Each structure stands twice: as C-alpha cells, then as structure tokens.
Chains A and B, each alone.
Chain A
Amino acid sequence: NAGVTQTPKFQVLKTGQSMTLQCAQDMNHEYMSWYRQDPGMGLRLIHYSVGAGITDQGEVPNGYNVSRSTTEDFPLRLLSAAPSQTSVYFCASSRLGQGISGANVLTFGAGSRLTVL
C-alpha cells in the first residue's frame, strides 16, 4: 500500500499562474481533505470530501478549487496563484464513521511545499 501520495513535493510559481496539486490514496477511504500549514498557524482545512462527487469548504477555501471524480483522487487547484498561498500543503484521508480505529484516523501525505513569487 502506498497510502496517500501527493505530487509534486516542491513547486515554485509566479503570481497569477495556475497549478494543480495531486492527491491519491489507495486505502478506499471515503473522506479526503486538504490542509495548509503556515508557521504559527497550525494546519488549516481548505476543502474536504466525503465521497465521489461530494466536496465542501473548510476554514480557508478562498483561492482554491477541488473536485472528487473518483474515490482515489482529490486534486487541489490554484486558479491564479498569489504570494499569500505560499505554504506547505497536506492531503489527508480516512474512513468515515464513528470510532477511532486505525482506519478512522487521518492518514497524511508527505506534503507539498509551494512558493509563489
């Protein structure tokens, strides 16, 4: 099992450029989410999905789009990058439902460091 795979690991963009951060999981998790991590701010939820075709906004959704066409994939799109979007991005997934067995706990990807100049 690869777990949660994020690509790319590093990316430098110019202001106004667009890009997509890819996220794929092979654990058949219903729930997938994107976080951004900034110094002193912890991890903040951008968007999440509870299944194919279903997405919703988190705490900081502005400037980001997501889609969930399959259970496995949950890409994050920046349509017009801004310097404020310089951050480390994490994709994470889990099973849905109550309980905190191993499958109900968030499994994280390795993170993607994005710099917007």
Chain B
Amino acid sequence: AQTVTQSQPEMSVQEAETVTLSCTYDTSESDYYLFWYKQPPSRQMILVIRQEAYKQQNATENRFSVNFQKAAKSFSLKISDSQLGDAAMYFCAYRRTGNQFYFGTGTSLTVIP
C-alpha cells in the first residue's frame, strides 16, 4: 500500500519569509503523480501545485515550488514571500495509476505578521 508521510504537524513562518514543508512517500510504482493541497479555515480543499513523477524538472506556481527527489521519494513544498493568506493546513497527496489518491496527515502553517 502507498503511504504518504508529513513529519511536521505544525510550522510557522514570518510574513515575507520562505518556508519549506516536507513530504515523503512510499511506492513501488514508477509512474505516479504528486500534489500539494491547501485547506484554509473555510475547509475547502484547494490545489496548490502538481508534479508528474516522470518529469525531472520541479514544478513551480508563482510563489510555490517543489523539490522533487524521486530516488529519495521526497516531495517538499517551498513557499516564498509568505503571505497571511498562506496560513492553512497543507496536505501532500500521491496519485497512483487507477486514480486513487493517498493523503498525508497534513502540516498546519501559521504565518506571523
């Protein structure tokens, strides 16, 4: 079975600074997809960024970027120039062939003004 591990239950960052959220996963597959979702207090799940495992280039979306290390099965999220609106729970997710998604336990990010 696939597992996704987020070892940081809580993180904090000063506004305008950079923070990195960690995620590791376990799989025997070679073709899969990885995601970061954000859940603000509104509870809505919002896609932040996505990465195909066969692509070596790290995905970026504005202030959000990932560090994808396939051999190490690591998929960390870097948030640059942190803003108050970035405060949320962040979930790392793995999607296997067959479309099943597996989620980590989440990291609660606090942004300090």
Contacts of A105 in B (CB 8 A): 35, 47, 50
Contacts of A44 in B (CB 8 A): 103
Contacts of A82 in B (CB 8 A): none
Contact across chains for B45 and A45 when beta carbons are under 8 A apart: no
1/0 per residue A11-52: CB within 8 Å of B? 000000000000000000001010100001111110010100
1/0 per residue B78-113: CB within 8 Å of A? 000000000000010101010111111110000000
Contact across chains for A90 and B100 when beta carbons are under 8 A apart: no
Contact across chains for A45 and B43 when beta carbons are under 8 A apart: no
CA distance A110 to B43 in the complex (A): 7
CA distance A58 to B50 in the complex (A): 23
How far is the CB of A55 from the nearest CB of chain B, in Å?
13
A interface bracket (residues with beta carbon within 8 Å of B): 20 to 34
B interface bracket (residues with beta carbon within 8 Å of A): 20 to 34
> Which one, A31, A88, A111, contacts B99 given CB within 8 A?
A31
Contact across chains for A45 and B100 when beta carbons are under 8 A apart: yes
CA distance A95 to B74 in the complex (A): 26
> Which one, B43, B50, B52, B104, contacts A42 given CB within 8 A?
B104
Complex: chain B residue closest to A45, CB-CB: B100
Complex: chain A residue closest to B98, CB-CB: A50
CA distance A94 to B100 in the complex (A): 10
How far is the CB of B21 from the nearest CB of chain A, in Å?
14
Contact across chains for A43 and B50 when beta carbons are under 8 A apart: no
Which residues of A are at the interface with B, using a C-beta cutoff of 8 A?
A: 31, 33, 35, 40-45, 48, 50, 58, 88, 90, 92, 94, 96, 98-100, 105-106, 108, 110-111
A-B CB proximity, top 4 nearest: A108-B45, A42-B105, A43-B103, A42-B103
Which residues of B are at the interface with A, using a C-beta cutoff of 8 A?
A: 4, 6, 9, 31, 33, 35, 43-45, 47, 50, 52, 91, 93, 95, 97, 99-106
